[in-house]
Chains A and B, each alone.
Chain A
Amino acid sequence: MTKSSAVAGIGASVFSKDSAKSELALAIDAIEAALDDAGMSRAEIDGMVTFTLDETDEIDLVRAMGLGDLTFFSRTPHGGGGSCATIQQAILAVECGAAHTVMCYRSINGRSGKRLGSANRISRSAGGGKAAWYRPFGITTPAQKVAVIAQRYAYESGATTEDFGRVSVLARKHAAVNPDAIFFERPITLEDHQESRWIAEPIRLLDCCLETDAAVAIIVTSSERARDARHSPVIVTAAAQGSAPYEETMSSYYRPVITGMPSMGVVGRQLWKRSGLTPADIQVVNLYDHFTPFVLIQLEELGFCARGEAPDFVRDGSLELSGSLPFNTNGGQLGEAYVHGMNGISEAVRQVRGTSVNQVPAVEHALVTAATGVPTSGLILGRDR
């Protein structure tokens, strides 16, 4: 990867709990917004990347939107673990010449339609007999699976439910000033978190992300082309996917140590190597926040703090806008919307452009991660020089 690809445009639908629109219509809203943001014509789109889970087909978008020939179309697996990987697919296509301009998108009626947090969805999608090792014993949802790992993390690190809660409070603080956020003007206190009901101990309701009807679209093209777009290009400084041994879908219970996040480690090591950067070079992060305990483990796995020290790192205010590593400045998926990580990429783009509602001063590099507990991906985005 040669840092010769860039994000030229970002767009989103309205974020809501009941869109009253098809996912195709939501995707179109996001893609039109991204084209407008980039100041680019739909005729330039010759590539498309979405999630394997996405139910809006590329060919339906081509027909509906009057797009032209596609020379590259690809999908990324493992749910939210594939968010940053869509951008990696796009830059690989652009840099090898398979496409010039790639539209990455995700459209999901995640609240009014199929709710990913529900047991039914998981039981249908769990194949290959793997569900036999948890479903018969009452573990059926992502929150329940993550809880088993979170409890062991709490045991080993001393993390408490308050430590998990601080992540949520901070996300809601950032969402409260973001007019696009589901939880705009609705901050919470740590007491609110502590009073929220248990879902699966040690996970409370306010440790869980939203479920949202939403679409996000992101345009990736050559840095050269992006320099003629409406905004300054946001360079894809590094992109990576990662899957470490013993990975299971949110139930990686059979590793010698289960309180790390080795697949994110695979991603992190590649991001640092390819970018030549270190954690100290990152001014702002957007970490996948479906469940708060996994934000703490990510901070450790990516090297922003030492093993077992994330609770103190968060308690010390490091993730605040005034801290050393401002976090999820859009409110993340706990506060803005659950778009399977794609809205975190958009926010990192805004931070590098300097247009976030919670803008961090002098952002040179922003780091974004995809879902944790599954094979995952990550990005470092940076300013054009």
Chain B
Amino acid sequence: MLYRNPERTLDSEFFWQGIDRGEFLIQRCDSCGQDRHPPSPQCAHCHSTAWKAVSYPTTATVYSFTVVHSPALSGMPTPFVVVLLEWPTGIRFLTDLPEVQPSEVSVGMLVSLRFVEVEEGVTLPIGFLDDDMVVA
């Protein structure tokens, strides 16, 4: 509970509400159209504070990754894979790949997000390989 429940703020509440509904939402500036993440009240490019949340595709490519060996966290047996995903718009998002072996991960591979209730009442966008290879 301590680790997996994301702290929601007034700026990020829309994102987590989207996750709860099964939507991956990213902020888009109403003025210049630039997308941004993590959420922020103002567009760093044109300085507008007007924005909308747009629904993003849930498939992206691995920009970087790590395999975490230590220290172990409750509920996340080590080693486990964490990836930094990138969309063509430049948006990046970090998530874990619970069903992927460390030897399977590489920069440039495709990952799909699914909305997983990792703990009671805590839903997160978690990464899976595109071909749905699931380790039993």
Contact = CB atoms under 8 A, between A and B. Distances in A.
B92 interface: yes
Nearest to A254: B92
A118 B71 contact: yes
Contacts of A245: 44
Given A132-B6, A137-B94, A201-B102, A151 B68 contact: no
Interface of A: 118-119, 123, 128-141, 144, 147-149, 151-152, 155, 197-203, 245, 251, 253-254, 256, 258
Contacts of B107: 151-152, 155
A151 B9 contact: no
Interface residues of B, number: 41
Given A136-B124, A138-B96, A155 B73 contact: no
A198 B69 contact: yes
Nearest to B11: A129
A131 B118 CA distance: 17
A137 B116 CA distance: 12
A148 B65 contact: yes
Nearest to B78: A138
User: Which residue among B11, B73, B84, B92 has the maximum number of chain A CB atoms within 10 Å of its CB?
Assistant: B84
A200 B68 contact: yes
Nearest to B39: A129
B63 interface: yes
Interface centre among B37, B64, B79, B126 (most CB of A within 10 A): B64
B94 A129 contact: no
Nearest 7 A/B pairs, CB to CB: A132-B6, A129-B9, A152-B64, A147-B66, A201-B67, A198-B69, A137-B96
B94 A148 contact: yes
A225 B11 CA distance: 52
Contact of B64 (A136, A148, A199): A148
B38 A136 contact: no
A135 B68 CA distance: 13
